[in-house]
Structure 1
């Protein structure tokens, strides 16, 4: 239960190699994968964790090996977080930079394509921000965590919510309860 099948430093090295490799792979897969976890993304993460398990523990199922790997992974994460906090350049490499998807009503399709952001994802973020039209958007920014921040133009009055609170339903005629 406590005896290691390999030297302790080998577990540390294996953990760091797998951690770094997965960080690069997930970074290359785009921001959408991180901030908007779909069922496909969840399955990918679960399968990835199972696929790299033996690469980290070398087949050693001892408690000691598991604890060494846990400390290594948490430590590596803390070091990267601290380096990101200390250096803006390092942060940009590890976490990326926010990307402008819309500026003054103009949608940047090439940026959306590179970031794997669909029009449905963008429209969902606009609805959450209470925006009815793309033309009303001053900025829509894909943040480092995969969320989309929306800033509505100041001269656009907020739309009155209908009875259900949805901005996307047809207005209801109050006399007949039918859509206008």
Structure 2
């Protein structure tokens, strides 16, 4: 239960180092966006990579080459999807959620908050993190496609926020 044999531990040590080095090389060659904090699609790929790493490391029936090929395939598919999403808006809309406006011109948008399951407390926290003292000072709070809340302070009374260009208004 606590110890099978030295060969099993030796396999884990050798395969562990090799799969780690292989994964680092795959990630370095695939670019910065492979594990970036972007959207649910990226999270799924990251979790799948972790699962493949664990399977390759701990499952004796998974060969090192099989694990590396599986991880390489996932990273390659991720690269293709991000490449396509940059070039084709239909692919981008398929894999990414659009940002949601939760506060606009100092007013909570309760229907949007309810649909996105965000509380007033979470929104007030995002205001405090940006140094915005009151809801009236907030031009907007946006739930981004990666799940983060961004609060924007009023710029001026007559100038709309250009950062809200891609966010659907109420």
Uncovered stretches (5+) of structure 2, i.e. residues with no partner: 1-10, 12-39, 158-170
Q: Distance in 2 between matches of 1:154 and 1:93?
A: 33
**Secondary structure of residue in 2 paired with 1:97:** coil
Poorly superposed stretches of 4+, deviation over 4 Å: none
Query: Counterparts in 2 of 1:18-167, with a 5 A limit?
Result: 26=40, 50=51, 60-155=61-156
Structure 1 residue aligned with 2:165 = none
**Secondary structure of residue in 2 paired with 1:96:** coil
Q: Distance in 2 between matches of 1:93 and 1:62?
A: 34
Q: Distance in 2 between matches of 1:142 and 1:108?
A: 12
The 1:92–1:59 alpha-carbon spacing in structure 2 relative to 1, beyond 3 Å, is farther
Q: Distance in 2 between matches of 1:110 and 1:60?
A: 51
> 1:84 Cα shift?
1.0
Q: Which has the higher contact order (CA 8 A, sep 6+)?
A: 1
The 1:94–1:59 alpha-carbon spacing in structure 2 relative to 1, beyond 3 Å, is farther
Q: Distance in 1 between matches of 2:51 and 2:94?
A: 27
Q: Distance in 2 between matches of 1:97 and 1:127?
A: 24
- TM-score, normalized by length of structure 2? 0.56
Structure 1 residue aligned with 2:26 = none
Q: Distance in 1 between matches of 2:108 and 2:143?
A: 12
**Secondary structure of residue in 2 paired with 1:145:** coil
Q: Distance in 1 between matches of 2:121 and 2:51?
A: 32
**Secondary structure of residue in 2 paired with 1:74:** helix
Radius of gyration: which is bigger?
1
Structure 1 residue aligned with 2:17 = none
> Cα deviations across residues 143-167 of structure 1 (Å, max 9, x unaligned)?
11222222212359xxxxxxxxxxx
The 1:99–1:68 alpha-carbon spacing in structure 2 relative to 1, beyond 3 Å, is same
